[in-house]
Amino acid sequence: MEQALTDSQPVSSLDDPHACDSCGRGPARRLVIRRHVGMLYLQKFVKIEPTLCRECGTRTVMRYTGRTLVQGWWGLISLVIANPFTIIMNLVALVQARRLPPPQLSSI
């Protein structure tokens, strides 16, 4: 009887490794998304690695890339190396997100 109760309990989306960290839907995959802030003498790099579905992944990549396009060019190293690298890597993450099938509602 105890085994039957354990097997019938639903698994939450937090326990599912293929569920979106943001909305809980699937399928989802781990994406590496970057943001760069260039300053005259300093730089700031931000890197997140969430598991996201197609919609949440596309939205997050676009938000981070948009901020990079505005804030990333202020500095010589940022202009030549860091910002173009960040944009290219975010394009890779965007392609990975867009290749996922549309998210489905949870079966729970």
Instruction: Indicate the domain borders of the chain.
Output: 2-98
- Euclidean distance between CA atoms 58 and 100, whole angstroms: 10
- Euclidean distance between CA atoms 8 and 94, whole angstroms: 37
Q: Does the pLDDT at position 78 exceed 80? A: yes
Average pLDDT, the chain: 85
Band (pLDDT 50/70/90 cuts) for residue 1 is: very low
The tokens describing 23, both together, are 């909305």
pTM above 0.85, yes or no: no
| Nearest of 54, 67, 66 to residue 22 by alpha carbon | 54
In this prediction, residue 75 carries a pLDDT of 87
Q: Scan for tokens 């085994």, then name that residue.
A: 3
In this prediction, residue 108 carries a pLDDT of 53
Q: Does the pLDDT at position 101 exceed 90? A: yes
Asked if 22 and 50 touch (Cβ cutoff 8 Å), the reply is yes
